[in-house]
């Protein structure tokens, strides 16, 4: 059983050497009486929140990783042996699993069954479009942003797992949408494949405030913030009266030891801006409605989804680390399905 093991707690940006590939012999069985089932992991998800589990801090909404143990994260897996009647060989599930070829699951977390009739979408989409990031975009946009037709919407990390969907939801809601991302290739995708009205590469902009003024001469109604830091600071200056900022994440701060200061918070008062952080897990009662909506929009061709697939556990650490330099184009997954 090949696995990717977490070596020890880190500061700053994650590196490939913070993880190690190991091979261990295991019996490919769920032993009688163990109350567990054995899965073959087919796809693993790389998500920015996993960086938070690499520090020795127990006060978060999710506990830290255990050094010496495999990295844990969302996966799509197939049951290959089972000691419990609820799970049968061949069942497909998405759940929290280990970064390894096979995992013995005794207490499934975040488990969802994948039904046979849904298989005309790629299985890996259960980690993106139909999984946690897709649901984050849906709950964040429709529930937190209070969108109205004609709103001016700005999305950061717009070519990523969450951002690409926020932009498409906003467009189909009748909003004007501008995205920002860190490369020319991503800007091209936003404009020509994902239907954003405009997009720009924030790495090539000398002054973010001036850039936002160019793209939003009348100001921003909704800022869907995936990055925090300087981008949030620049957006604050460009918000309209009664604007809304949904703080989904602050990926630019994950790797910094100290948070970067925000200077423009006073705009919140004069412009009566609502800033709301949220966790997708607060909205899980909406999951069935999300799945129904997004599945049908996808099948009708109203939305598209871009994935970045790395092959094999050998490349998993690099795929994860790449989230923090913007190497991924779209949702980053690791395929263990082989050639
Ligand atoms: P992405 O697929 O967007 O990957 C991360 C992207 O962030 C990179 O591709 C990169 O794109 C960008 N990035 C990395 N470092 C920086 C930086 N220093 N400054 C600006 N941009 C940077 O990730 P997700 O879509 O999965 O996640 C997006 C955000 O949503 C994250 O902050 C994540 O933590 C958050 N999140 C929150 C959830 C919630 O419940 N609140 C649930 C899921 C995700 P680029 O090339 O544009 O720089």
Report whether residue 323 contacts ligand 1, using a CB cutoff of 6 Å.
yes
Helix, coil or strand: residue 322: helix
For ligand 1, say whether the CB of 9 is within 6 Å of any of its atoms: no
Q: Is 221 exposed, middle or buried (0-12, 13-18, 19+ CB in 10 A)?
A: buried
Q: Whose CA is nearest to atom 33 of ligand 1?
A: 249
For the chain, state the CA radius of gyration: 21
The whole-angstrom separation of Cα 126 and Cα 120 is 12
**pTM of the complete model:** 0.96
Band of residue 261 on the pLDDT scale cut at 50, 70, 90:
confident
Contacts of residue 292, defined as CB under 8 A and 6 or more positions apart, other chains included, come to none
Structure token digits, residue 65:
């990783």
List 177's β-bridge partners, or say none: 153
> Which has the closest alpha carbon to 40: 11, 70, 77, 72?
77
What is the pLDDT, as a whole number, of residue 136?
Answer: 98
Q: Tokens 């909003």 belong to which residue?
A: 175
pLDDT digits (tens, 9 = 90+) for 8-33: 999 989 999 999 999 999 999 998 99
For ligand 1, atom 8, name the residue with the nearest CA. Answer: 326
HSE-up of residue 96 (Cα within 13 Å, Cβ side): 13
Whether the predicted pLDDT of 106 surpasses 70: yes
What are 72's two structure tokens?
């844990």
Torsion (CA) 158, 159, 163, 164 in degrees, nearest 10: 120
Confidence of residue 262 (pLDDT cuts 50, 70, 90): confident
Identify the CA nearest to 134 among candidates 290, 296, 308, 292.
290
Whether 127 and 42 have beta carbons less than 8 Å apart is answered as no
- Mean pLDDT over residues 35-49, rounded? 97
Three-class SS state of 236 = helix
Phi (first) and psi of residue 261, to 5 degrees: -65, 145
Integer Cα distance of 150 and 153 in angstroms: 9
> CA 212, 215, 220: angle at the middle one, nearest 5?
65
What average pLDDT is seen over the chain? 95
- Kindly state if the Cβ of 165 falls inside 6 Å of ligand 1: no
d(CA 131, CA 45): 10
Per-residue tokens: 205 = 């902009």
- Cα 241 to chain centroid distance, Å, stands at 30
Pick the closest to residue 28 from 92, 87, 81 (CA basis).
Answer: 81
Q: What are phi and psi of 113, to 5 degrees?
A: -85, 145
Does the structure show a pLDDT above 80 at 116?
Answer: no
Question: Among 11-25, 105-119, 290-304, which is the least confidently predicted range?
Answer: 105-119
Per-residue pLDDT for 335 more than 90?
yes
- In a 3-state reduction of DSSP, which class is residue 130? coil
Q: How many helices (H) and strands (E) does the chain have?
A: 9, 15
127-165 residue pLDDT tens? 999 999 999 999 999 999 999 999 999 999 999 999 999
Q: What per-residue confidence (pLDDT) applies to 254?
A: 66
Taking the C-alpha atoms of residue 72 and residue 19, their distance in angstroms, rounded to an integer, is 12
* Residue nearest atom 18 in ligand 1 by C-alpha distance: 252
User: Measuring from atom 22 of ligand 1, which residue has the nearest CA?
Assistant: 252
Q: What is the pLDDT of residue 299?
A: 93
- The residue whose CA is least distant from atom 39 of ligand 1 is 279
For ligand 1, whether the C-beta of 234 sits within 6 Å is: no
Residue 326 near residue 251 (C-beta atoms within 8 A):
no
The single-letter DSSP state of residue 158 is T
Question: Cβ distance 66 to 84 under 8 Å?
Answer: no
pLDDT at 257 over 60: no
């Amino acid at each position: 059983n090949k696995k990717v093991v977490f070596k020890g707690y880190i500061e700053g940006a994650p590196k490939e050497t913070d993880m190690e590939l190991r091979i261990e012999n295991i019996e490919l069985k769920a032993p009688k009486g163990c109350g567990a089932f054995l899965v073959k992991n087919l796809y693993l998800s790389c998500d920015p929140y996993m960086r938070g589990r690499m520090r020795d801090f127990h006060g978060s909404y999710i506990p830290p990783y255990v050094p010496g143990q495999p990295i844990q994260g969302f996966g799509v897996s197939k049951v290959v042996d089972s000691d419990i009647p609820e799970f049968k060989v061949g069942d497909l599930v998405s759940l929290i699993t280990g970064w390894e070829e096979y995992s013995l699951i005794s207490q499934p977390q975040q488990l969802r069954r994948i039904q046979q009739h849904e298989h005309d979408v790629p299985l890996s989409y259960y980690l993106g479009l139909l999984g946690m990031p897709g649901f984050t975009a849906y709950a964040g946009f429709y529930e937190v942003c209070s969108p109205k037709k004609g709103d001016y919407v700005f999305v950061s990390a717009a070519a990523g797992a969450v951002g690409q969907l926020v932009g498409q939801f906003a467009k189909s809601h009748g909003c004007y949408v501008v995205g920002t991302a860190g490369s020319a290739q991503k800007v091209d995708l936003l404009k020509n494949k994902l239907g954003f009205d405009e997009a720009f590469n924030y790495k090539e902009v000398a002054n973010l405030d001036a850039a936002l003024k160019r793209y939003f001469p009348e100001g921003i109604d909704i800022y869907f913030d995936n990055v925090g830091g300087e981008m949030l600071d620049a957006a604050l200056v460009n918000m309209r009266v009664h604007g809304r900022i949904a703080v989904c994440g602050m990926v630019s701060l994950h790797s910094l030891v100290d948070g970067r200061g925000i200077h423009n918070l006073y705009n919140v008062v004069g412009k009566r801006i609502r800033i709301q952080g949220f966790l997708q897990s607060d909205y899980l009662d909406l999951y069935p409605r999300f799945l129904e909506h997004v599945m049908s929009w996808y099948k009708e061709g109203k939305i598209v989804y871009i994935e970045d697939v790395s092959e094999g556990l050998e490349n998993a650490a690099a795929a994860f680390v790449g989230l923090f330099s913007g190497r991924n184009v779209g949702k980053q997954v690791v395929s263990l399905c082989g050639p």
